[in-house]
Structure 1
Amino acid sequence: MAQEPSNWQTYKRLLKYVRPFWVAFVFAVIGNIIYAAASTAMAAAMEYVIEAIENPTDQNRLLLTGLIVGVFGLRGLGTFMSQYFISYVGRNVINALRVQLFDRLLTLPSRYFDDNASGRLVSKLTFNVEQVAEATTDAVTITLREGLTVIGLLGFMLYTNWKLTVVFLVVGPVIGAVVSYASKRFRRLSKRIQGSMGDITHVASEGIAGYRVVRTFGGEDYERQRFHQVSQHNLVQSLKMASTQAISVPVIQVLVALAIASLVWLMLSPEIRGTMSTGELIAFITAATTMAKPVRQVTSVHAKIQKGVAAAHDVFETMDQPPEQDHGTFAPERVTGQITLDKVCFRYRDQLDDVLHNISLDIPAGQSVALVGRSGSGKSTLVSLLPRFYEYTDGEISIDGHALADYQLQALRGQIALVTQNVVLFNDTIAANIAYGALKDATREQIREAAAKAHALEFIDRMPEGLDTMIGDNGVMLSGGQRQRLAIARALLKNAPILILDEATSALDTESERHIQDALETVMEGRTTLVIAHRLSTIEKADRIVVMDAGQIVESGRHEELLAAGGAYANLHQTQFSESA
């Protein structure tokens, strides 16, 4: 197992995203330098304030008022430059990370999505990436601004009286130890908080998406309990984080206060004070007390840095996942559609037994093959190997004599149109759902023609805005049959040489199914078609029917031949005929 990268390695990788915006970053640094210089000047100016009070001439009065306005004006300019430009850098970094993460998610194999709930992946894109923003904006701003202020004030104190400054610096290692302990705890808690936020997103998305099932089966109390549980876990972790931060900050403040108190006590000693004037003493004390705030800010920023680093670990872990294997170079414009399966085996990653055993099948171009069998017999798994959603573990699948691995993934999938029983539609217009993705340049006439062939125009034309009607999240405004017909229209518009219909008519009523069957028979002409159907009445005209059981082919032939053979297909047919009767 690969060793997890260290905090510093992750942070260095994160800072690489800042490079394209280095000009804005330089302006932010200049702003922080101006702010730190102004803060140091405020402490140093106390000597002149005392002198002006002791010697109130017109010149001193003018000098003092000008000094106050100038120092605060510089601080204001420094604050604006540091905050705006570092925010500009930070938000651009977040945008780059978010886009890159989403791009990687689009290329990851199906197994990654099987192993990771969609809610948790959405949480990575939203909450976790936002946590990184704090590490690259607030944390950098505070570290630079307050860190430079501390350096400026220390420099002034060393210049004024190095002996007193050394006394003040004695508490440095103790503060470092407190910060080190807090940092480790912050990172540990941040990981737990991110995990709990993923759980919250996951539970919430399931409850919202399945609200009809929840209400119908009285699942409100169960969902409420699930959500309360994950939300409570998040609350406990967040409070632990808050308590650690709340304890560490005052401890550091007390340590700084002890150092300042020691300074004041020592200042009364003539040996330490030396020849310092009253103005110099007050300026020194002002510098020491002014340092309390930036020290507190710099130490408290560790919580944000640790949150950001923990989030970046999680984000980079997904980005580093290997994408789908795509080493093929063969990219034909259009295949004829001859499919050959030779002793194909497949097993899911964590399973010991094969799901498919030695599947051999030769499908000539343009032939329609129906796959039938009980649920769990491997039909859907078999057809999911064709577009390479999963990689078969043994044997070979070829199209037009070329192994699937020889094809470029995009070129391979461009040859296949797919309609599944779980229709996926997008919160867009009907036209955009039919002409989706690579089909977006289809003309209005082509879209209407595909919709007509899928018998979808009869309900589309009744819609308030026809093809331009918005259909809601996953087509919530449509019935099951209407959604299915839009998916079929999308497949028809693609006009691919290979067509996969996985329970394509499952959501249709008898009348709609009859219309669709006519349309499918038309569209199947000249195309290699793989049809998965539970209702055997829909596949009686297929060129060949393949019966599967327990991941193996047990029978193959035409409808009449298989009935006459009196085997597994005849039994399935008899069972369905009895049920329908």
Structure 2
Amino acid sequence: MTDAPATRSTTECAAAKRAVAAGAVDAGVAGIGSVMQSLREIFAGLGATGRGKFWIALVLMILSGLTEGFSILLLLPVLKVILADGSGAGRLNLGDHHIAGFSLPDVSISLPVLLASFVSLVVVQVLFNRSKTAFMSDLLFDFTNQCRLSLFSALARARWDKITRMSGSELEHALTGEVERISTCGYYLLMIVQGIVMLLIYLIMSALVSLPMTLVMIIFGVIALTIMRPFRHRAARFGTLLQESRRRQFGTVSDFLGGLKSVRATNSEQKFYREFETLLYRNKHDAGVFARQNATGSGIFQIMITLGAATFILVAVTWLHLSFARLVVMLLVAMRIAPRFLGLQAQFQQLLQDLSAWRHVSKLRDDLVKAVDTSVQDHSAPVTFQHEIRLENVVYHYVGGAQPSLDTLSLSIEAGRVTALIGASGSGKSTVADLVTGLIRPQSGALYLDDRVLQPSELRGWRDRVAYVAQDNFLMNLSLRENLTALTQRECADDDLWQALDLAYASGFVRRLPDGLESLLGDRGVQLSGGERQRIALARAFLRLPDFLVLDEATSALDWEAQEHIAASVKKMARAGMTILTIAHRPSMVAFADQVYALESGRLIEAGTAEDLLSRKNGVFWTMMQKELTQSDT
């Protein structure tokens, strides 16, 4: 696959880039207030990891910074003193020397002891840095997991109507790639704090030697950081471009994998390849532009620091007339200060590059929190009913819909009986299923259990007694056993599993699988056929032993023999007291129902037993049966 990127995709990416760049000016470079707010939030997140981990990590980093210059080179002055003694004793007499006017104790140290002490100090330093690294890793993992869990929790608690309007691939990308960039934000923020503290320490040391020269260093450092401001803005813009590029890449890969069978069957691989290739080329181009700009900025910054060092020496020698000893000390301190300014610039630039991820995840989490489903937070006892589930004058209008999905709908689902919903696509059947399972709430009217309205605080308890099987099945890349027990709270023996599989007409093909109940199903159950996946989903629902079972086109992929077997199982469970709502386009899953409702544009247009409705010529149910008979004859 070596085709050049498609022109149309390139144009779309360029347009997206311009839009994102414009947004970055607002979101990434709008002002220091926005940046400072994000930094305060990250600080709060790091501080919330518990048990003072943030402050301990900060102290460890500062101590590490103070010891980073400790090396074998420190032995050179000591060795010079020992060798200059000329006695050949190989000893260091501390009493012959002083530091900053203070005499050292009159102690003589042999060279082997001195070297052993030095090695011991290096070992301690290595162990300390090892502990610091492990502690930092633990802190950043806690911080990252905290961010990921807070977003996951907000998603799990959001209203169903909010979730259905969101992009699944965008949510997956936020929970994986974007959160990892947030971890980078936390790391560089800690590095910046450490750098600032170390810079202050060295500046204080420098001021004790020469305050004027310290002021010269500060002025040049501030000027250099100010000149680099445009480059930091570009880093923020690139971060937003990178975020959009990765989001689009993730979406393309997700769409490709989700529809791989259809893509392969229609020879559409090249289309997805070209789209993905275009995104990668665009990302490479943006990264190249940023790398060149970043290299230019780094070069300018180094030139500024070098110019500052030259000015520093010139002022020290020609104006302040510092002694050689003080000049050497100042130069040594300056050699510690200059890298701090360089490091702060690089770290802050990297932080700004990844700060867009924090803003994106925070906004996504806040939007989900605002749309919280309060019923998810309640822990009510299981809710039951004795006689009926009733919708009374219910209205429900999806956001952006041209007309209500349900328009003053009233119907009753009697306990211990099978109720069927029929109607054309878009007639409101699945909306009824979402309402009676408590996924959404009536915008007008009410949902009754017997003679009382089901309250929002009872929805969680109600869902404990409900099982739902959709046309698109939810299967995981786990064993068949794990998939069966994934949605039930009770302990299930093998006999329970096989009984559920028998009811779903699935035990036969499961016994033929190489590993039986331990067989892996693959991603989304790809190792099974569509009909087999539906039967596993049905068995999983039966295993919950619900009071109320909703089958929403749950047998659409089954052949007539399997449908007849499952219809018999459904009737058997209804006779045992289970209440069942079946939604189907095929008469074999409707004809046995005790009550049939026909919907059109969210309104009830037919109601009665299957026998009654079959006698109404040209009615919805009669037409459905006639089409089924005609297809059978054909």
CA separation of 1:504 and 1:73: change in aligned 2, threshold 3 A: closer
Q: Identify the residue that residue 448 of structure 2 maps to in structure 1.
A: 398
Ranges in structure 2 where 5+ consecutive residues have no aligned partner:
1-25, 28-32, 95-108
Contact 2:504 2:566 in 1 (8 A): yes
Contact 1:40–1:156 (8 Å) recurs in 2: no
Task: Kindly provide the amino acid, as one letter, of the partner of residue 321 in structure 2.
Answer: R
* Contact map agreement 2:387 2:415 (CA 8 A) in 1: yes
Q: Which deviates the most, 493-502 or 162-171? A: 162-171
| Aligned match of 1:184 | 233
AA matched with 1:247: T
Structure 1 position 13 matched with structure 2 position 72 = no
Question: Using the alignment, how far apart are the partners of 2:362 and 2:313 within structure 1?
Answer: 50
Q: What corresponds to 2:321 in structure 1?
A: 273
Q: Distance between the aligned counterparts of 1:32 and 1:407, measured in 2?
A: 49
Q: SS at 1:496's partner residue?
A: coil
Partner residue of 1:93 out of 140, 143, 147: 143
Return the letter of the residue paired with 1:207: F
Structure 1 pair 39–530 and aligned structure 2 pair: CA distance change class (3 A) = closer
Structure-1 separation of matches of 2:333 and 2:124: 18
Aligned to 2:413: 363
Q: 2:355 aligns with which of 300, 303, 309?
A: 309
Following superposition, the deviation at residue 299 of structure 1 comes to 1.1
Question: 3-state SS of the aligned residue for 2:455?
Answer: helix
8 Å CA contact retained: 1:40, 1:149 = no
SS at match of 2:59: helix
1:393-430: CA deviations, max 9, x gaps? 22111122332334523211112111111111112222
Match of 2:494 in 1: 444
* Aligned counterpart, 1:29: 58
3-state SS of 2:606 partner: strand
Q: Secondary structure at the match of 1:495?
A: coil
- Quick one: structure 1 residues 308 and 86, their matched pair in 2 at CA, closer, same or farther if it must change by over 3 Å? farther
**CA gap 1:300/1:330 in 2 versus in 1, 3 angstroms:** closer
CA contact (8 A) 2:64 2:129 kept: yes
Matched, 1:468 2:518: yes
Match of 1:207 in 2: 256
CA distance change for structure 1 residues 139 and 78 in 2, over 3 Å: closer, same or farther?
farther
Would the alpha carbon gap of residues 329 and 494 (structure 1) be closer, same or farther in structure 2, given more than 3 Å must change?
closer
- Deviations, residues 67-105 of structure 1 (Å, cap 9, x unaligned): 987997786566445433222211121122222322222
Within the candidate set 268, 272, 275, 1:223 is matched to: 272
Shift of 1:215: 0.9
Kindly report the root-mean-square deviation, in angstroms, between the aligned alpha carbons of the 2 structures.
3.2
Task: Report how many aligned residue pairs link the two structures.
Answer: 574
Query: What secondary structure, in the 3-state scheme, does the structure 2 residue paired with 1:461 have?
Result: helix
Counterparts of 1:507-518 in structure 2 under 5 Å? 507-518=557-568
Closer, same or farther: CA 362–503 of 1 in aligned 2, 3 Å? same
Q: Report if aligned partners of 1:28, 1:83 keep a CA contact under 8 Å in 2.
A: no
Kept in 1, the 8 Å contact 2:418–2:574? The answer is: yes
Please tell me whether residue 133 in structure 1 is matched to residue 159 in structure 2: no
CA distance change for structure 1 residues 35 and 544 in 2, over 3 Å: closer, same or farther?
Answer: closer
3-state SS of the aligned residue for 1:171?
Answer: helix
Q: CA deviation at 1:48?
A: 6.6
How much does 1:178 deviate?
3.3
Secondary structure of the structure 2 residue equivalent to 1:534 = coil
Say if 2:237 and 2:353, in contact at 8 Å, map to a contact too. no
Q: What residue is the counterpart of 1:254 in the other structure?
A: 303
Alpha-carbon distance in structure 1 between the residues aligned to 2:434 and 2:38? 37
Which of 383, 395, 400 matches 1:345? Answer: 395
Distance 1:25 1:504, change over 3 A: closer
Find the counterpart in structure 2 of residue 293 from structure 1: 339
- TM-superposed CA distance for 1:338, in Å, is 1.0
Q: Which amino acid aligns with 1:358?
A: T
2:371 aligned with 1:319, yes or no? no
- The alignment partner of 1:545 has SS state of strand
C-alpha separation in 2, matches of 1:290 and 1:208:
52
**What amino acid sits opposite 1:245 in the alignment?**
N
- Paired residues of 1:34 and 1:78 also in contact (CA < 8 A): no
Q: Which moved more, 1:53-62 or 1:86-95?
A: 53-62
Contact map agreement 1:338 1:399 (CA 8 A) in 2? yes
State which drifts further: 122-131 or 349-358.
349-358
Cα deviation, residue 52, structure 1 = 5.5
Aligned equivalent of 2:592, options 529, 534, 541:
541
Partners of 2:110 and 2:148 in 1: CA distance: 52
Residue 127 of structure 1 and its aligned partner are, at CA, apart by: 1.1
Closer/same/farther in 2, CA of residues 56 and 413 from structure 1, 3 Å limit: same
How has the CA–CA distance of structure 1 residues 70 and 465 changed in structure 2, closer, same or farther, with 3 Å as cutoff?
closer
* Cross-structure match for 2:528: 478
Return the letter of the residue paired with 1:370: A
Counterpart Cα distance in 2 of 1:282 and 1:386: 82
Measure the CA separation in 1 of the matches of 2:456 and 2:164: 26
Provide closer, same or farther for how the CA distance between residues 302 and 22 of structure 1 changes in structure 2, counting only shifts above 3 A. farther
Opposite residue 7 of structure 1, the aligned amino acid is V
Work out the CA distance in 1 between the residues paired with 2:471 and 2:527. Answer: 18
| 1:500 counterpart SS class | strand
82-91 or 72-81: which moved more?
Answer: 72-81
Report the CA distance shift for 1:337/1:125 in structure 2 as closer, same or farther (over 3 A): farther
Could you tell me how far 1:500 is from its partner in structure 2?
Answer: 0.9
Deviation by residue 1:267-294 (Cα, 9 ceiling, x = unmatched): 331x4124x2x23212212322332222
**2:514 corresponds to which letter in structure 1?**
P
Q: Do the aligned partners of residues 256 and 60 (structure 1) sit closer, same or farther apart at CA in structure 2, a change above 3 Å counting?
A: farther
Deviations 1:438-497, CA, capped at 9 Å, x for gaps: 335222222221112222111112222222222111211112222111111112111212
Query: What one-letter code is carried by the residue in structure 2 that aligns with 1:317?
Result: K
The CA deviation at 1:296 is 0.9
Identify if the C-alpha distance between structure 1 residues 165 and 48 changes in structure 2 by more than 3 Å, giving closer, same or farther.
farther
Number of the residue aligned with 1:572: 624
CA distances 1:513-567 after superposition (whole Å, capped 9, x unpaired): 2222211221222222211111123311211211112221111112232232224
SS at match of 1:273: coil
How far apart in 2 are the matches of 1:495 and 1:527?
A: 8
Distance 1:45 1:430 in 2: 65
Question: Is 1:347–1:392's contact at 8 Å kept on the other side of the alignment?
Answer: no
Q: Which amino acid in structure 1 is aligned with residue 215 of structure 2?
A: V
